[in-house]
């Protein structure tokens, strides 16, 4: 109770009398051969004279925007100067499990993690944030996160605004709660909206077509974005790429971790001003950010509130004046290639920051692989929400394309590549995803609720991508190595083209779970009944020869 009265007094001081007259911070955009991110404790003055302890990524709060080019190799060094372990995840990027930065890939205090990957994603807005086991919400709340902009030739060929900070504006939207001493109050909701870390921000934008890159970087709040003049605005990109054509809407529901790029036509509006709003009063009561449960909620929940004031200034010398008619054709996988459909069901009860939620009745266990996906497979995932509140579902490893929501077509602005989808109560959503290029090789990918409170509470599972024709160390005889039956529940027989002296079985996390001597015979059997269901690699050795293959335990 003491906390909440302090919050209310700060709220009166900072929110109610709010005038949007703080210049919006624009994080520096870096374009470097090797990026260096130092995660450290900082102090930041969000309000004059109020000093807030924060964490930052080479900054007092949030981090720089990293500019990547499709086809290049990205190199990033993550240096952890915190007193606790962290990890760094490149949200939305399609990269090997080893560099994905999920909870297993811890960066210990004092350690520097070298990351290197080929940039395969198309031009769009991605982001980075920590992903340490049970500490993600806290470290993100304190300020470790930043935007990633991928550029490519297809996007460059379009007449779109792309001068960073001038007509192409990063907007990281977060809510935070401040205590009277200036510290953050850690919880699902805040009652101050920060954009790029700026409370009550304004920006001056030229009287022409501008581009806003929106990222919901909040722990639990879902935003229902629009403008105070009620205008419709074209969405040009979702999480993982441009749409095939601009999709006009007057409301954009952005859940946690989701991104969208929109165009805003300010032509002829010089001297005028406009408010980017979140129309929280329109959110259904099951979506965090609505007024659903007041005592867990905040002054911002269930109401319409301003996010950013836009003051319109003179146009630039070479303005974009029109919204393109067409963008870049989207490339969803072919539905006829779908080999597997997986069902994922949310259950549990609670609210945005408390309670217990499950995926298929399970919670995160770093030692358990929950799904094994075959490299190259195209799958349909059907995600249904049988719990009491809406959850944003996110998967690592790449992008997906929505097929339908409750068997109905999705809105045009959700038709592009995505990696987060808000699943409403009693709703089921289907998407199609192709698992290509990379096996996880001991570093599984996560899928989880992107409400960071829920994620830390275990609403997260993990999957591996395995190559059914695993590359074998030379000399190889994998074609002649046969196993049967696979999947098996207990006994697996094998026959190899050489006398086997030793066999070992490695699990999806790269750990050896079985090793046996074999009396120099080319065939034999192993008992897999003690292993958990999932994919394993069976390795056989004899003399100078070896062979391996994927085996399934079910
Ligand atoms: Cu943005 Cu697994 O996270
Ligand atoms: Cu992610
Ligand atoms: Cu959730």
pLDDT tens digits, 219-248:
999 999 999 999 999 999 999 999 999 999
Output the CA 445–ligand 1 centroid distance in Å.
10
The mean pLDDT of 276-290, rounded to a whole number, is: 95
What does the alpha-carbon distance between residue 205 and residue 545 come to, in Å, rounded to a whole number?
A: 67
| CA of 14 relative to ligand 2 center, distance in Å | 33
For position 12, what pLDDT does the model report?
44
| Cβ atoms within 10 Å of 3's Cβ, excluding its own | 12
Least distant ligand from the CA of 448: 1
| Minimum-distance ligand 1 atom for the alpha carbon of 129 | 1
Q: What percent of the chain has pLDDT over 70?
A: 94
pLDDT for the residue numbered 476: 43
Q: Is the CB of 394 under 6 A from ligand 1?
A: yes
User: Which ligand 1 atom sits nearest the alpha carbon of residue 420?
Assistant: 1
Start-to-end Cα distance in the chain: 51
Ligand 3 centre to CA of 256 (Å) is 10
Q: Is 259 in the pocket of ligand 1 (CB under 6 A)?
A: no
3-state secondary structure (DSSP) of residue 403: strand
Looking at all shown ligands, the one closest to residue 105's CA atom is 1
Please say if the pLDDT value at position 468 is more than 80.
Answer: no
C-beta 454 within 6 A of ligand 1: no
Average pLDDT, the chain: 92
Least distant ligand from the CA of 356 = 3
Quote the ligand 2 centre to 92 CA distance (angstroms): 5
**Distance (Å, whole) CA 41 – CA 341:** 44
- Segment 73-79 shows an average pLDDT of 98
CA 396 to ligand 1: nearest atom? 2
Q: Is 199 exposed, middle or buried (0-12, 13-18, 19+ CB in 10 A)?
A: middle
Greatest mean pLDDT among 63-67, 464-468, 495-499 lies in 63-67
Q: Which ligand is nearest to the CA of 363?
A: 3
pLDDT(424) > 70: yes
Quote the ligand 3 centre to 6 CA distance (angstroms).
Answer: 28
Q: Is the CB of 105 under 6 A from ligand 1?
A: no
> How many C-beta atoms surround the C-beta of residue 244 within 10 A?
15
Residues of the chain with pLDDT > 90: what percent?
79
Ranges of beta strands (E only) in 18-167 are: 22-23, 29-30, 34-47, 50-57, 65-69, 73-80, 88-91, 112-118, 124-130, 146-151
Tens of pLDDT, residues 300-316: 999 999 999 999 999 99
Nearest to 36 by CA among 55, 60, 61, 63: 63
91 in ligand 1 pocket by Cβ < 6 Å?
A: yes
Q: Distance (Å, rounded) from C-alpha 399 to C-alpha 88?
A: 19
Ligand 1 neighbourhood includes 430 CB (under 6 angstroms): no
Tokens of 119: 């940039």
203 alpha carbon – ligand 1 mean position (Å) = 29
pLDDT, tens only, 391-417: 999 999 999 999 999 999 999 999 999
pLDDT band at 3 (very low <50, low <70, confident <90, very high): very low
CA-CA distances (angstroms) from residue 132 to 105, 450, 451, 456?
Answer: 8, 14, 15, 9
Measured in angstroms, how far is the CA atom of residue 182 from the centroid of ligand 2? Answer: 30
**Rounded distance, CA 438 to CA 440, Å?**
6
State the residue for tokens 């032509």: 267
- Predicted model pTM: 0.88
Of all ligands present, the nearest one to the C-alpha of 453 is: 3
- Atom of ligand 1 at shortest distance to CA of 460? 2
Which residue's CA lies nearest to atom 1 of ligand 1? Answer: 91
Question: Of the ligands numbered here, which is closest to the C-alpha atom of 354?
Answer: 3
Pick from 175-184, 337-346, 474-483, 533-542: least confident: 474-483
* Residue 198 Cα to ligand 3 middle (Å): 27
Structure tokens at 85: 């372990």
Output b/e per residue, 104-138; b: 16+ Cβ within 10 A. Answer: bbbbeeeeebebebebebbbbbbbbbbbbbebbbb
With a 6 A CB cut-off, is 309 part of the ligand 1 pocket?
Answer: no
* pLDDT tens for each residue of 13-62: 444 445 789 999 999 999 999 999 999 999 999 999 999 999 999 999 99
Predicted pLDDT at 353: 86
Indicate whether 321 pLDDT > 70: yes
Label residue 176 by pLDDT band (50, 70, 90): very high
Q: Indicate the pLDDT class of residue 483, thresholds 50, 70 and 90.
A: confident
Tell me how far the alpha carbon of residue 102 lies from the centroid of ligand 2, in angstroms.
8
Which of 222, 223, 284, 225 lies closest to 425 in space, CA to CA?
A: 284
CA 275 to chain centre: 27
Query: How many CB atoms sit inside 10 A of residue 245's CB?
Result: 18
6 pLDDT band, cuts 50/70/90, is very low
Instruction: State how far the Cα of 443 lies from the Cα of 434, in Å rounded to an integer.
Output: 18
CA of 44 to the centre of ligand 3 (A): 30
Structure tokens at 103: 């909870």
Task: Describe the chain by its helix, strand, coil percentages, rounded to 5.
Answer: 10, 50, 40
Which numbered atom of ligand 1 lies nearest the CA of 257? 1
User: If you take atom 3 of ligand 1, which residue's CA is the nearest one?
Assistant: 91
Triad 525, 368, 117: Cα angle to 5°: 100
């Amino acid at each position: 109770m003491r906390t909440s009265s302090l919050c209310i007094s700060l709220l009166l001081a900072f929110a109610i009398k709010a005038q949007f007259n703080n210049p919006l911070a624009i994080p520096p955009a870096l374009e470097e051969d090797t990026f260096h991110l130092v995660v450290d404790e900082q102090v930041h003055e969000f309000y004059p004279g109020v000093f807030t302890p924060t964490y930052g990524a080479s900054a007092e709060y949030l981090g720089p925007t990293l500019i990547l080019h499709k086809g290049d190799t990205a190199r990033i060094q993550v240096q952890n100067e915190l007193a606790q372990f962290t990890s760094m995840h490149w949200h939305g990027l399609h990269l090997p499990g080893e560099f994905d930065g999920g909870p297993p890939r811890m960066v210990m205090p004092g350690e520097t993690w070298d990351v290197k990957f080929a940039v395969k994603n198309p031009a769009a807005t991605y982001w980075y944030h920590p992903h340490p086991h049970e500490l993600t919400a806290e470290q993100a709340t304190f300020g470790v996160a930043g935007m990633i902009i991928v550029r490519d030739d297809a996007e460059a060929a379009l007449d779109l605004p792309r001068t960073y900070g001038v007509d192409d504006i990063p907007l990281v939207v977060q809510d935070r709660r401040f205590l009277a001493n200036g510290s953050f109050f850690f919880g699902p909701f805040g009652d101050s909206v920060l954009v790029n870390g700026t409370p009550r921000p304004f920006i001056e934008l030229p009287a022409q077509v501008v581009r806003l890159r929106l990222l919901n970087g909040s722990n639990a709040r879902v935003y229902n974005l629009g403008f105070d003049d009620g205008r419709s605005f074209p969405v040009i990109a979702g999480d993982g790429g441009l749409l095939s054509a601009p999709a006009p809407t007057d409301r954009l529901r952005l859940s946690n971790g989701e991104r969208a790029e929109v165009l805003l036509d300010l032509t002829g509006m010089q001297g005028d001003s406009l408010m980017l709003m979140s129309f929280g009063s329109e959110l259904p009561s099951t979506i965090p950010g609505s007024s659903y449960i007041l005592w867990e909620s905040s002054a911002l929940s269930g109401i319409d509130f301003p996010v950013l004031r836009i003051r319109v200034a003179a146009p630039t010398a070479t303005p974009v004046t029109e919204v393109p008619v067409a963008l870049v054709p989207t490339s969803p996988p072919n539905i006829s290639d779908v080999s597997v459909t997986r069902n994922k069901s949310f259950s549990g009860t609670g609210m945005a920051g408390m309670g217990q939620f499950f995926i298929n009745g399970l919670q995160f266990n770093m030692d358990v692989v929950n799904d094994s996906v075959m490299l190259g497979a195209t799958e349909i995932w059907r995600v249904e929400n049988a719990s009491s509140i809406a959850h944003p579902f996110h998967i690592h490893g790449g992008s997906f394309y929505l097929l339908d929501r409750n068997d109905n077509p999705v809105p045009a602005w959700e038709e592009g590549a995505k990696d987060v989808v808000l699943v409403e109560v009693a709703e089921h959503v289907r998407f199609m995803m192709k698992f290509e290029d990379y096996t996880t090789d001991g570093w599984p990918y996560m899928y989880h609720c992107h409400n960071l409170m829920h994620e830390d509470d275990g609403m997260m599972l993990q999957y591996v991508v395995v190559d059914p024709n695993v590359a074998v160390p030379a000399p190889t005889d994998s074609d002649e190595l046969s196993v049967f039956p696979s999947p098996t529940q207990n006994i697996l027989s094998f026959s190899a083209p050489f006398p086997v002296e030793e066999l070992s079985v490695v699990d999806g996390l790269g750990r050896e779970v079985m090793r046996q001597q074999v009396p120099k015979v080319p065939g034999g059997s192993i008992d897999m009944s003690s292993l958990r269901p999932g994919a394993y690699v069976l390795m056989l050795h004899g003399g100078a020869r070896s062979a391996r293959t994927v085996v399934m335990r079910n």
